[in-house]
Structures are given as structure tokens and as C-alpha cells.
């Protein structure tokens, strides 16, 4: 079970997924220190013009990021805009692999390669391929040792690091996963497994509504279906 | 619990009483009163880097009457304004200037390894402060691997005790290595810690709560921990220790100058002696004269600075006549294993450092590897945890499903003693930074013993989590705690500094940070780095008293 739709206005989660019904971490923001609250609220200001990517790169990148994060339904976390901003500011992780270019250049190049692969395999640009076609190309990169002269796993590391760092910085994803978010100056008082703070929300139904193994199996099957029945 | 004497601690280091009470975390009046030295004035000691090693050295020397200027490339933090209770917003705490990583097993730097700004990497360190074991100082003699230190555990023990009191360290009585108590009692357990204990108990493994550099009870004006779980993002509360609050306030009160936002670009050596440091502040270059220079910029920047400081006299870099600078850089193998529990865990509550197990620390003759590993709780926040999930190869719907299950997972980490290897080293890359200086290239490859240790650690963590009731376990292989690169040795052919951290090549140049470690044990390194710096300060004080050539005249 990947979750029922939430009432979006009350407690948004990406694509309306998640099991912590009604849990809205932003409702706690009055209890955060002003500096943290400003940083998190700023992150939620969605209207950002692209500063790093060209519009062509942006289309490819959005398709890639949304695919890697299964960021499909509304409301959609503006991951592309967040990654674009980060690259524009040159906010790297403080290192690069010797066999990869600097992050900004690596992004541009790998997006170009994705587009190239898509044209060769499916006759159209990456952004206009179907989700299944895109998934097959992307899985190919993860599986490859060398991809257009770059090590596949280092490309993969670049993409997933930037994608996840943006996505899981967004309060809607905290709503989805039940994370408490900033906790200063209030802190936590209830520290036992299985117990919650008064403002934390239980998962819908029982503590663990559907066995984990079923849920993850279902997600795996959906993923494999996308890849064309790949085992 | 160890009995401590508050008066004795204050007589050594009053920092905890110099942080403010009330609504602010920074003592602005103290900063405003700070003594300032003219760059043209020859100070006694210029310290490069104000982290674990540099911050401690600065405090000890200032208190002894030395005139000290401590430089840091990063800012002098104010926890209230500069730090946030948020993962992504803490990016500025890390050293993110360009660096290149290479080798068979390249090691990620930045957030995972090094900090920038007054307090150094301890600003965002987890907070574990275990001692090294006596065996760590003699691994070559005892186990035929690694290297022997030119000092013994006994040489460091008094400094361990002092620093533990000043941080202060909280934890249960420690049964491993040299058994000892802690000045503060153990903190209550969070959910991740309870699960670790439950699993270890089921397997008959001893664990101990702590040791963490977070006071439990009254300590000066430091606030009590609020168990909010953001230790790796900088403690806004002033509960978790870092030199910013444990040593710098006392240093400033005793006449040290902290010069933040000042990147040292060269240690200047003329006719075989250090004469000071060149540094860049606000885009302009300056030169600070000093009688003694101590470099404490972390295991990447310290070797880089020595290599960048080449002169006709030292064409291959300072102190590098025997090709030792930048070699034997080590990282601990730090695989983390997550276990899935049907109950909610919510591991983000309480400090990530909670419980330790050092049952596997020493060499076990029945195994086909030497040395060992430690196991500790780690409690990654969502972004860091997502790396754990993507490391399994998951993406798309599967990644999301694992992440949606975040509250059900508990995570343990281990620290494996990977052995020093000469070829694991920092060199200068062709790429240059914004100032036109070559950046560091850190090349790293694991050895065979290392890989075996890592496997063993992973299977123990899996066993513990399963014994605690986990239905699924997943592991990410990673590294932690870079040390070495200018190691301490018996002579100049096998290291860069001597037993007192003085470089073999330049008599008034010292290295006082994690770079000097010849081996790394399976303990987190910060306490040992601080203890070594405090010991070096005693050496400098003694040589100053005896008037040894080239030592600070003003402190004589
Ligand atoms: C995420 C994380 C968790 C950790 N957890 C633990 C833990 O639980 N326990 C533990 O013991 N250790 C931990 N560590 C490691 C520990 O923080 C470091 O080993 C320790 O701080 C290193 O001390 P140091 O003196 O060598 O360098 P640092 O403390 O990093 O200090 C170096 C300082 O030098 C400055 N600098 C560098 N170059 C220059 C220059 N050229 N000019 C001016 N200034 C310069 C830097 O800005 C920095 O402030 C952790 C580290 C990280 C990253
Ligand atoms: S958990 Fe405690 S020590 Fe850690 S950051 Fe929060 S208040 Fe500070």
C-alpha cells in the first residue's frame, strides 16, 4: 500500500502519499526558533526562476529527478528548482571524484548524454519519452561500468545525492514519512520506541497497518513493471 | 561516576563559565574585549585552524601567558544566528571548497568529514569521546600491523582525564581498554539506544551508554541537552561540546586573538626557521610574524598547506624531505546497518551518539584479521538516511517506500580500524581553488585486512539488530574520521613530527591536529586529538621555561 490520498490543504505530502494522516510539520513552525523557521519557510517558496539550467536542460533534468524520486502526482516538490538553485550557488558537497568533472559541468554533460541515449533508442528526446522508456535508460546508467566515458556509479551518486538532498529537505516529505522536523527550542520528551510526543501523529490504522514486506514487494513490482518486466 | 573538583577545572579552563546564561549563546562582551595583535608584531605562537587540535592548543598556551593568534578559514560562529535545526540548512558548516578524491575506494569529504570555522569539525561531530586503548599505541609490536606510536597510553592518560572533565564527558563506567569512569553520569536512552541495548543483551554483549561530550547536569553556564537529535548540525543549545564553547572562551579571556575568516596560504620558512604565516582575509593578503607556528587544519588541509609552502630550501614542500607529508592518511571503515522494526522507533529523537560496544576492539587470535571494530548508535536524519536507501540501489517507488517507512528503522554504525598505508595520501591536484592554489587530491584504497574487518563488523551489527527483533536489515558501506597525513614517529624517515608534535625539519614548526596520528584504533578521534594538543602545550611551556633556542621569549 503506497497510501491513500491526503486532504492536500491540511497536510500536504508529495503526490498525496503517506500514512501519517493529518500530520503537518509546518503546524509546528511557531515552536521553532526564528532562524530555522525562516530557512524552512524560504525553501517552500516555490516560485523560483531557473538560474543554472537552460530550458532544454531543465526539461531533461526535471524528467530525470521526478523519475528517480517517483515525484509524480500533485502536489509535486519543486526538486528541479531546488537543484538548479544549489548548482547556481555552487553549493557542492566539497569533493568530486577524480574521474568526474566539477558538479555543475557533470550535470550538464550527463543530461546531454541522457538525451542522446533517448534519441538513439527511442527516436525522441529524454523529456518526451514515456516514463517506462526513461526508466530503462536510467536503469542502464545505474547498471553500467562506463557510460559515455564516465563511471556509471559516480554518475548515479551525483544524481541521487542532489535529488535526495533536495527532496528530503522539503517539509512535505517530512509529513509523508512522519519526521518531526526542526526541534529547537522545544526538543523531545518522549524517548521510548513506540511512544510519541503529543503533537506527533500515529500511522493510519494500527501502528503498522500492512506488513512491511507486502508494501515493499508491491513497490518493487511497480518498479520492475516500469523497466519492462526486468527481474 | 568520577569525582571531579569544579575549582580545579576552573583553574585549568573556565570556558563553561564564560558562555552566557539567559537568552544568548554567545558572550559578545568577551568577544568585544578580545586582545588584538598587529600582524607586524611578532607573536609567540600562530595557530592555523581553530578546531579540536588548534582550539585546545590555543587555550592552553594563552592561559600560560603566551601571546597567541589562532587563525581559522571559516567564521566565528554564533549558534543563535548562524546555525539551524535543519539538515540541508547546515551545509555551511562543512568544508566545501573544491577537493578531488581518487584511488580504488574514494572517500567522500565535506559533510561526512570536515568542518570549517571556529570549533572545527567538532561543531558538527556526533559527540562520541572514547579514549584509545593502550594497545593502539603499539599495534606493530603487538599485532604486527600498523605502527607503534613514539608515546604510550600512559603519556596521554592525564590529558584524557583533564579533557574529559572540560568537555565534559557523560557515560557509564567504561569496561574496555583502560577501564575508567566519566565525570558525568549517562544520559537517558533514546529509542535507537534502547534497541541497540535490547539486541546486545539478547546476544550477551556488553554495551555502555556514552561516552558523549554532552554534560548531564550542571556544568558552568552550559544548557542541558534537549534531546532534539541535531548534534551533527551544530548544537544550538550549547549542550554538545566543541572548542567554540569548551576552549575558545577561556583562550580569549587569557589574551588569545581569534582571527576568523582568515585562510592561511603559506607557512613562511626562512633559513630553516618558521617566521610566520601568510593569510588572506577579505580578499587581501597579510603576513603575521610569529616565533612558533602550529598547523592544525585537519588531515587534508594540513598536508596541503605544508606542500603549498615549498621554498627553494624545501622544494618538495615543508618537512617533506623524506616524502612523508600527506602519507598514511587513514579513515575508519564505518558501515552502518539499519534494521526494520514493526513498532515505531523514531530514531531522530535524542542525540545520535548514545550507546557503544567495544567488545570487538582488540585483535582476536581466532580470526583471520588483525585489530578490530567498535559499534555505536547512529541516528541519521532523513537526507542522510536516504543515502542509506539509495546505496541499496533503490530508486523511484522503492526508494519512496523505504523512506515512507523511516520511523520504523533503527541504525547502528561501526568504526573499523583500517590500517595505515603509505599510498593512501594527500597530494596537490592540477585543479586550483579561487585563490589560484592547487587543491588537495586524496587518494584512498582499502587493504585486505580492512575488508575482512568491515565484513565482520557488518555481520555483528546485523546479528544485534535481528536479536532486537528486526525483520529486515540493510547496510551501507562508508567511511568516517580522517586522520594521519603528518604522522608522529621516532625519526624523520618514518614521519613528520616527533613525540612532542614538533616537525623534524623545522624546529619551531608544530603540527597539532588529527594529522599526527600514526594509527587510528576503533575509537572516534576528537578526544585523542585534544589530549595530544594539550600535551604539546605542556611541552611548549616546558621548553619556553628552559629557554630552548627558538622558543617563545615572552613566556620565558
Ligand atoms: C559528521 C561527523 C561526525 C563526527 N563525529 C565524531 C565523534 O562522534 N567523535 C569524534 O571524536 N570525532 C568525530 N568526528 C571527527 C572529529 O570532528 C575530527 O576528527 C576532529 O574535529 C579533527 O580535529 P582537527 O583538529 O584535526 O581538525 P578540525 O577540528 O577540523 O579543525 C580544523 C580547522 O582548521 C581550519 N583550517 C583548515 N585549513 C586552514 C587554513 N589553511 N587556514 C586557516 N584555517 C584553516 C578549518 O576551518 C577548521 O576549523 C566527526 C566528524 C564528522 C564530520
Ligand atoms: S541532541 Fe542535545 S547535544 Fe545534540 S544537538 Fe540537540 S541539544 Fe545539542
- Averages of pLDDT over runs of 10 residues in chain B (556 residues) are 90 97 94 95 97 98 97 98 96 90 92 88 97 98 98 98 98 98 96 97 97 96 95 96 98 98 98 97 97 97 98 96 98 97 93 96 97 97 97 95 96 98 97 93 97 98 98 96 97 98 98 98 98 98 73 42
Residue A229: what pLDDT? Answer: 54
Question: Which of B189, B217, B230, when mutated, tests ligand 2's pocket best, judged by the most ligand atoms within 8 Å of its CB?
Answer: B230
pLDDT in tens, A123-174: 999 999 999 999 999 999 999 999 999 999 999 999 999 999 999 999 999 9
**Cβ contacts of residue A38 below 8 Å, gap of 6+?**
none
CA dist., res. B87 & res. A80, Å (int): 19
Of B95, B109, B230, the CB nearest to A183: B230
Nearest residue (by CA) to ligand 1, atom 37, is: B297
CATH number assigned to the domain covering B26-546: 3.50.50.60
Nearest to A128 by CA among A59, A225, A57, A50: A59
Distance CA B267, CA B264 (A): 8
Please tell me the distance from the alpha carbon of residue B461 to that of residue B207, in angstroms, as a whole number: 13
DSSP code at position B488: B
Strands (DSSP E) contained in B329-456 are 330-333, 336-340, 355-357, 373-377, 409-416, 425-432, 438-443
A202 part of a folded domain = no
Beta strands in A72-185 (DSSP E): 96-97, 146-147, 150-151
Residues in B touching A189 (Cβ below 8 Å): 227
DSSP state of B109: -
Taking alpha carbons only, the member of B255, B207, B243, B211 closest to residue B529 is: B243
Is the pLDDT at A10 greater than 80? The verdict is no
Task: Name the 3-class secondary structure at B428.
Answer: strand
For residue A71, the enclosing domain spans 14-179
Domain ranges of chain B: 26-546
pTM, 2 dp: 0.96
Residues of chain A with Cβ-Cβ distance to B345 below 8 Å are 193
Residues of B in contact with A43 (CB under 8 A): 88
Cβ within 8 Å of residue B318, ≥6 positions away:
B267, B269, B306, B307, B309, B310, B311, B325, B503, B505, B506, B509
Q: Considering CB atoms only, which of A94, A97, A191 is closest to B189? A: A191
ipTM: 0.94
pLDDT in tens, B520-553: 999 999 999 999 999 999 999 999 877 654 444 4
Q: How confident is the model at residue A206 (pLDDT cuts 50, 70, 90)?
A: low
Residue B497 beta carbon below 6 angstroms from any ligand 1 atom: no
pLDDT tens column, B110-150: 877 789 999 999 999 999 999 999 999 999 999 999 999 99
For residue B110, the model assigns a pLDDT of 80
Alpha helices (H) in B190-346, listed in sequence order: 191-203, 243-246, 248-253, 298-308
Return the half-sphere exposure (C-beta side, CA atoms, 13 A cut-off) of residue B31: 15
Q: Is the CB of B71 under 6 A from ligand 1?
A: yes
pLDDT of A222 strictly over 90: no
Is the bond preceding residue B71 a cis peptide, omega within 30 degrees? no
| CB of A87 closer than 8 Å to CB of A104 | yes
- For B375-426, the pLDDT digits (tens) are 999 999 999 999 999 999 999 999 999 999 999 999 999 999 999 999 999 9
Q: Alpha-carbon distance B136 to B141, whole Å?
A: 10
Nearest Cα of chain A lies from the Cα of B396 at a distance, in angstroms, of 5
If one counts the domains in chain A, the total is: 1
- Does residue B379 contact residue B229 with C-beta atoms inside 8 Å? yes
DSSP A231: -
Residue A190: pLDDT band by 50, 70, 90 thresholds? Answer: confident
Contacts 24+ apart (CB under 8 A), A127-131: A127/A59, A127/A60, A127/A62, A127/A63, A129/A63, A131/A67, A131/A226
- Say whether the peptide bond before residue A185 is cis (omega within 30 degrees of 0): yes
The cell numbers describing A181, all together, are 522536523
Residue A4 has pLDDT above 80, yes or no: no
Residue A169 has its nearest CB partner, among B102, B194, B383, at: B383
**Ligand with smallest separation from the Cα of B300:** 1
Total residue count of chain B as it appears in this document = 556
Q: Which DSSP helix (H) or strand (E) runs through B258?
A: strand B257-259
- At CA B474, angle to CA B407 and CA B449, rounded to 5? 135
Window 21-50 of B: residues touching A by CB (8 A cutoff) are none
B264 Cα nearest atom in ligand 1: 42
Amino acid at each position: 500500500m503506497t497510501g491513500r490520498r491526503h486532504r492536500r490543504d491540511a497536510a500536504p505530502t508529495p503526490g498525496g502519499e503517506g500514512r501519517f494522516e493529518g500530520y503537518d510539520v509546518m503546524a509546528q513552525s511557531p515552536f521553532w526558533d526564528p532562524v530555522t523557521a525562516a530557512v524552512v519557510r524560504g525553501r517552500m517558496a516555490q516560485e523560483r526562476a531557473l538560474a543554472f539550467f537552460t530550458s532544454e536542460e531543465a526539461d531533461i533534468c526535471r524528467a530525470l529527478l521526478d523519475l528517480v524520486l517517483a515525484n509524480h502526482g500533485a502536489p509535486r516538490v519543486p526538486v528541479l528548482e531546488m537543484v538548479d538553485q544549489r548548482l547556481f550557488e555552487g553549493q557542492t558537497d566539497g569533493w568530486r571524484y577524480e574521474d568526474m568533472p566539477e558538479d555543475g559541468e557533470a550535470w550538464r554533460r550527463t543530461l546531454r548524454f541522457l538525451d542522446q541515449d533517448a534519441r538513439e533508442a527511442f527516436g525522441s528526446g529524454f523529456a518526451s519519452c514515456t516514463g517506462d522508456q526513461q526508466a530503462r535508460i536510467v536503469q542502464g546508467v545505474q547498471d553500467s561500468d562506463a557510460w559515455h566515458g564516465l563511471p556509471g556509479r559516480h554518475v548515479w551518486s551525483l544524481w541521487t545525492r542532489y535529488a535526495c538532498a533536495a527532496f528530503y529537505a522539503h517539509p512535505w516529505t517530512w509529513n509523508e514519512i512522519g519526521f518531526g522536523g526542526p526541534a529547537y527550542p522545544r526538543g523531545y520528551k518522549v524517548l521510548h520506541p513506540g511512544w510519541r510526543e503529543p503533537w506527533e501523529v500515529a500511522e493510519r490504522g494500527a501502528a503498522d497497518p500492512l506488513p512491511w514486506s507486502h508494501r515493499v514487494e508491491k513497490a518493487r513490482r511497480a518498479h520492475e513493471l516500469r523497466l519492462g518486466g526486468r527481474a | 561516576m568520577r569525582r571531579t573538583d569544579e575549582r580545579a577545572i576552573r583553574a585549568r579552563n573556565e570556558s563553561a563559565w564564560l558562555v552566557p546564561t539567559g537568552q544568548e549563546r554567545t558572550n559578545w562582551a568577551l568577544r568585544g574585549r578580545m586582545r588584538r595583535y598587529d600582524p607586524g608584531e611578532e607573536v609567540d605562537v600562530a595557530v592555523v585552524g581553530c578546531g579540536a587540535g588548534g582550539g585546545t592548543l590555543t587555550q592552553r598556551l594563552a592561559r600560560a601567558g603566551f601571546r597567541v593568534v589562532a587563525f581559522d578559514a571559516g567564521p566565528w560562529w554564533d549558534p543563535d544566528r548562524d546555525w539551524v535545526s535543519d539538515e540541508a540548512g547546515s551545509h555551511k558548516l562543512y568544508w566545501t571548497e573544491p577537493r578531488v578524491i581518487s584511488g580504488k575506494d574514494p572517500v567522500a569529504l565535506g559533510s561526512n568529514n570536515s568542518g570549517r570555522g571556529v570549533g572545527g569539525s567538532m561543531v558538527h561531530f556526533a559527540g562520541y569521546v572514547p579514549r584509545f586503548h593502550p594497545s593502539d599505541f603499539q599495534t606493530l609490536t603487538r599485532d604486527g600491523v600498523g605502527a607503534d606510536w613514539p608515546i604510550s597510553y600512559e603519556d596521554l592518560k592525564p590529558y584524557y582525564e583533564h579533557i574529559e572533565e572540560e568537555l565534559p564527558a557523560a557515560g557509564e563506567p567504561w569496561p574496555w581498554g583502560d577501564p575508567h569512569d566519566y565525570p558525568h553520569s549517562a544520559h537517558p536512552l533514546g529509542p535507537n539506544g534502547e534497541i541497540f541495548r535490547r539486541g546486545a543483551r539478547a546476544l550477551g554483549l556488553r554495551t555502555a551508554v556514552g561516552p558523549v561530550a554532552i554534560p548531564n547536569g550542571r556544568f558552568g553556564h552550559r544548557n542541558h541537552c534537549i534531546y532534539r537529535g541535531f548534534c551533527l548540525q551544530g548544537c544550538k543549545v550549547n549542550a554538545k561540546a566543541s572548542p567554540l564553547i569548551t576552549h575558545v572562551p577561556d583562550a580569549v579571556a587569557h589574551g588569545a586573538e581569534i582571527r576568523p575568516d582568515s585562510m592561511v596560504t603559506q607557512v613562511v620558512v626562512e633559513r630553516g626557521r618558521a617566521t610566520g604565516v601568510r593569510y588572506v582575509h577579505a580578499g587581501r593578503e597579510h603576513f603575521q610574524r610569529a616565533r612558533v607556528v602550529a598547523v592544525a587544519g585537519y588531515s587534508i588541509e594540513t598536508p596541503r598547506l605544508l606542500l603549498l609552502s615549498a621554498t627553494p630550501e624545501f622544494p618538495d614542500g615543508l618537512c617533506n624531505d623524506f616524502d612523508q607529508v600527506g602519507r598514511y592518511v587513514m579513515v575508519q571503515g564505518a558501515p552502518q546497518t539499519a534494521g526494520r522494526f514493526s513498532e515505531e522507533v523514531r530514531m531522530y529523537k535524542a542525540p545520535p551518539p548514545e550507546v557503544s560496544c567495544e567488545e570487538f576492539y582488540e585483535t582476536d587470535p581466532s580470526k583471520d584479521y588483525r585489530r578490530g571494530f567498535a559499534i555505536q548508535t547512529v541516528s541519521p536524519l532523513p537526507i542522510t538516511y536516504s543515502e542509506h536507501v539509495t546505496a541499496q540501489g533503490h530508486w523511484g517507488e522503492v526508494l519512496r517506500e523505504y523512506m515512507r517507512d523511516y520511523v520504523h528503522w533503527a541504525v547502528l554504525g561501526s568504526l573499523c580500524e583500517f590500517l595505515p598505508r603509505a599510498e593512501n595520501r594527500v597530494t596537490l591536484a592540477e585543479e586550483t581553488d579561487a585563490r589560484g592554489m592547487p587543491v588537495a587530491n586524496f587518494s584512498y584504497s582499502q587493504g585486505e585486512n580492512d575488508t575482512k574487518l568491515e565484513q565482520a563488523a557488518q555481520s555483528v551489527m546485523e546479528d544485534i539488530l535481528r536479536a532486537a527483533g528486526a525483520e529486515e536489515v540493510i547496510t551501507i558501506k562508508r567511511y568516517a574520521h580522517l586522520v594521519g597525513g603528518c604522522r608522529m614517529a621516532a625519526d624523520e624517515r618514518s614521519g613528520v613530527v616527533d613525540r612532542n608534535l614538533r616537525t623534524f625539519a623545522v624546529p619551531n614548526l608544530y603540527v597539532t591536529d588529527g594529522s599526527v596520528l600514526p594509527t587510528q584504533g576503533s575509537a572516534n578521534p576528537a578526544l585523542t586529538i585534544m589530549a595530544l594538543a594539550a600535551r604539546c602545550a605542556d611541552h611548549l611551556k616546558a621548553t619556553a621555561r628552559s629557554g630552548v633556542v627558538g622558543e617563545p621569549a615572552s613566556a620565558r
